[in-house]
Amino acid sequence: MMSGHQLQSRARGAVLVELALLLPLLLMLTLATVEFAQALADYKVIVNQVRSATRYLSTQAAGTSHTEAECLLTHGVISSSKPCPGNVLLAGFGSSGFSVAVTDAINTPATHRSQRSSADLTVTSATTVNLVSVTVSGYQHQLYFSAFYPGVTGGAPTLDFGPISMTMRQTL
């Protein structure tokens, strides 16, 4: 028969073994959660900047201010000269595959010029509007902890975002 001290010592040993088995899994889940939260934060910044650039262009004449909108999107400042002043808001904005495309009534008249606010052609109260769209593509979020879970990420050092686009009607 074992004494109370021996049972307590064995229980401590079992707890240490369980901790040793579960700690790597818990660490991996924690790091994956932090990585996912950082990717979501980057996505939110991109969506907000695309919205700001589109809103800015919606107040400008069609075919103008594309450079200003791109600087607003990538650097947070309106500037008509390139390179844009200041630092990029996200590191991925400076990568070679990153691009900003602006479409409006001048460069894409088939889809962005004189769009009716009602698809029903018999509606006489429908107004005709011009549209402006800003699309960001090629953003790559740097995965900082991918070395800890290469099976999950496939060993990729980045998470590639799909195109993010916003369309608004132009007020001018």
Q: pLDDT tens across 101-114, in order?
A: 999 988 888 888 77
* Residue 127: per-residue pLDDT: 67
48-76 pLDDT tens trace: 999 999 999 999 988 899 999 999 999 99
CA distances from 94 to 73, 85, 90, 105, 127 (A): 12, 13, 8, 28, 40
3-state SS, residue 91: helix
* Residue 47: per-residue pLDDT: 96
Q: How far is CA 3 from the centre of its chain?
A: 61
* Residue 159: per-residue pLDDT: 84
Mean pLDDT across the stretch 30-52? 92
Mean pLDDT across the stretch 67-91? 93
Q: Do the strands 128-137 and 164-170 form a parallel or antiparallel pair, or are they unpaired?
A: antiparallel
- Does residue 130 contact residue 114 with C-beta atoms inside 8 Å? yes
* Residue 143: per-residue pLDDT: 84
Domain boundaries, the chain: 4-170
pLDDT bin (cut points 50, 70, 90) of residue 79 is very high
* Residue 43: per-residue pLDDT: 94
DSSP symbol at 48: H
Phi, psi of 43 (to 5 degrees): -60, -40
Percent of the chain topping pLDDT 70: 79
CB atoms within 10 A of CB 148: 16
Predicted model pTM: 0.78
Cβ-count burial of 132 within 10 angstroms (0-12 exposed, 13-18 middle, 19+ buried)? buried
Residue 130: closest CA among 78, 59, 45, 48: 59
Q: Which of 94-103, 137-146, 158-167 has the lowest mean pLDDT?
A: 137-146
Tokens of 94: 């400076």
CB-based contacts of 24, cutoff 8 Å, min separation 6: none
Residue 118: closest CA among 109, 108, 129: 129
The residue with greater pLDDT, 89 or 9, is: 89
* Residue 156: per-residue pLDDT: 73
Mean pLDDT across the stretch 33-40? 90
- Phi/psi class of residue 52: alpha, beta or left (left: φ > 0; alpha: ψ in -120 to 50)? alpha
pLDDT bin (cut points 50, 70, 90) of residue 42 is very high
